[in-house]
Structure formats: structure tokens, C-alpha cells
Amino acid sequence: MKKPSKAIILLTLFTILTIISIITANAVHQTPTQETTTNTLCTYISTATYDYTAAIDPNIIYNKTTLKPNEGTLYTRITKHINITLTYTFHATLPAETTITYTLKQTIKTSAWQYPTTTTQPTTTNQTEINITLPPVIKSELDTIKGEYEKTTGASTATTYTFEITPTFTVNANTTAGPIHQVFTPTLTVNFQRTDQGDITTIEDLYQTKSDAITENQTITLSDIINQRYASYILITISIAGLCFSTYFYMKTKPKIEEIPLDKLIAPYKDLIIEAQEPPKPTPEITMINVETIQELAKTAEILAKPIILTRKPQPTLTVIDQNTIYQHYP
């Protein structure tokens, strides 16, 4: 078995090396050279805690005249009024100069309309704990307002409705990590419902929170990834330079194939060859067969006892004609 030449070995090696270096460079560039991390400098939280005491008429269900959360179902017909308190607190993990402004809005809502019954003016304080005693919720008074609204507007009469208490706390604070601005609206919903258990009052969302944080983004340069990229550039440069050199070396050392003149090529078969000015023109009935070598064409001519016709223009062609079959070779 003939061994490949040094030029072919070098060309093969540097071709493989170039492919590997390109794949490596592409893989390294898939990883970013920078990484961003988020550091938490300060966390803060607003908390709203509602509490209520419902005054109820003497009844056969409860052996008491007041109910607090989780002490039983509030039946609307025996509930005289509900006293509600709200405790708001703000806490930050860093010392802060805090200013809190708050307002209070109360709204009657049905599925078709809503009407604000109370809206307070803003109150500002530096205290981070605020205790608020809300006006008592008295359903008979709310029914009167609801009836007046429906009578005045012609809105459809609703048998069930909700009463929303919506305080808004706006917090502005300064810390060593930066300023804080937070708006917190812990809405309390009082539902007057008619269910299979009877007419009941439910109070939802007694405890609510809202938290956030002051953060800082830090960008880190990954030096190992940059070094890998530089290494891939060096590898590509070396492999491409080697590929160019090996290609040039191969082309220079590649054995030249000498073209044999036509007359020298056909000399051994001159007894079988006659020369014509034009090649035979094929017709649809004629089958054309291309012969790979002049030796095969000469054997075919001897077997068929036919001459080989040589035409030099427009392209040197050797032809053997056997009835409806033409054998051709292009030397």
C-alpha cells in the first residue's frame, strides 16, 4: 500500500485542526464574558392588621353579645354594628428617616355600581406604627345610603353588596442604601351575603403585607472566559496559517500530469483510424455510447471490424459506427 506524501499528511492535519479551532472558538463565545449579580442592600415591609368586634343582639345561637374573628358566623340580622381597628407598621432592615402619609376611603359596591361614602384628608406622620379606629360598620345606615343612591340614579336594586375600606399608605424614607418609596393599599372587604345558612356578613383580608427591597446590580468580568477566547484566537491563527502553508506545499509538490499529444496518443492505433472533417451527426434512431478509454474503443473497432473515425474539430473525437449504434471517445 502506497503511503501518503508528507504534503497530504500536513494538509489533512491542518484541515482537521482548523475545524477543531473553529468549533472551539464558537463554543467559547457561547459563554458571556460578564456576569451580573443582584445584591440586596435593604429590605422593607408594610403590614396591615385588622381586628374587629361585632356587637350582636341576644340570640339563641351565641351565649354572648360580641363576636371577634374566628369566634363564629356573623349573622346579619342579629349584628348591630362592627367596630374595626387597623394597625399599620413599616419596618426596614436599615435605619431610616421615615415619613408616612395616609388616607382612608370607604365604598359601597354592587355588581353594577359603586358609591364612595367617605374619603378622608391626607394625614402625615413620622411614626412607623399607626393605630386607626375606623368608623363602626352599621348595615342599616349603609342600606339607607344604598337605597338613596338606587332611588336617585334608577340603578337596579341589589340584595347583596360589599363595603370596602381602603386605606392608602404612602411611605417615603431615606436610608444609607438609598431612598424608599412605597404605596400600600390594604383593602378590607365586608360582604353582606344571602346564603343557604342565612343572611351573613363576612370580613375578608384581615392581614396584608407588601414587601420590597433596595438592590444593587454588580457586573463581574469573567477573566477565565476571556483567556479562553484569546486562546481560541491563537489556535485559529496557527491552524489557518498551517492550512495555507500545507495547501501551498501540496500544490508545489503535487506531481504534474503531462498531457499526451493527440497524435502520440493515437499512434498505436493508426492502422484502425481514418480522419474525417466532421463528426457523424446522430439521429433519433441512433444510440450513442461513450467509451472511457481509447484502448476499449480500439477493441470495439476490432470486434466490429469497423474503422475509428477521427475528427479534430470542434473537439477531438474518436468514433466507431455500427449501424444504429455510435461508440465515441473524447481523448
Q: Are residues 156 and 197 in the same domain?
A: yes
Q: What is the pLDDT of residue 232?
A: 86
Residue 163 lies in a domain: yes
C-alpha–C-alpha distance, residues 222 and 12, integer Å: 35
The DSSP annotation for 43-83 comes to EEEEEEEEEEEEEE---SS-SSSEE-TTS--EEGGGEEEEE
Q: Are residues 88 and 117 in the same domain?
A: yes
| Angstrom distance (rounded) from CA 288 to CA 303 | 18
Q: One digit per residue, pLDDT tens: the chain, 331 residues?
A: 556 777 788 788 888 888 988 998 888 888 888 888 899 999 999 999 999 999 999 999 999 999 999 999 999 999 999 999 999 999 999 999 999 999 999 999 998 899 999 999 999 999 999 999 999 999 999 999 999 998 898 888 878 899 999 999 999 999 999 999 999 999 999 999 988 888 999 999 999 999 999 999 988 988 898 888 888 889 889 888 888 888 887 787 776 655 667 777 777 777 777 777 777 777 777 888 888 887 887 888 888 888 887 888 878 888 888 888 888 888 7
Are 207 and 268 within one domain?
no
Instruction: For residues 28 and 43, state if they share a domain.
Output: no
The count of structural domains within the chain is: 3
pTM of whole model > 0.75? no
Do residues 49 and 147 share a domain? yes
Asked if residue 139 and residue 196 are part of one domain, the reply reads yes
Query: Which domain range does residue 300 map to?
Result: 262-329
Is 269 exposed, middle or buried, given 0-12, 13-18 or 19+ CB atoms closer than 10 A?
middle
222 three-state secondary structure:
coil
> What local confidence, expressed as pLDDT, does residue 124 receive?
96
Same domain, residue pair 203 and 226: no
User: Is 200 within 8 Å of 75 (Cβ atoms)?
Assistant: yes
In a domain, 1, yes or no: no
Instruction: Specify the pLDDT at position 200.
Output: 93
The answer on 189 and 69 residing in a single domain is yes
Q: At what angle do helices 223-253 and 6-28 cross, to 10 degrees?
A: 160
- 206 and 69 fall within a common domain: yes
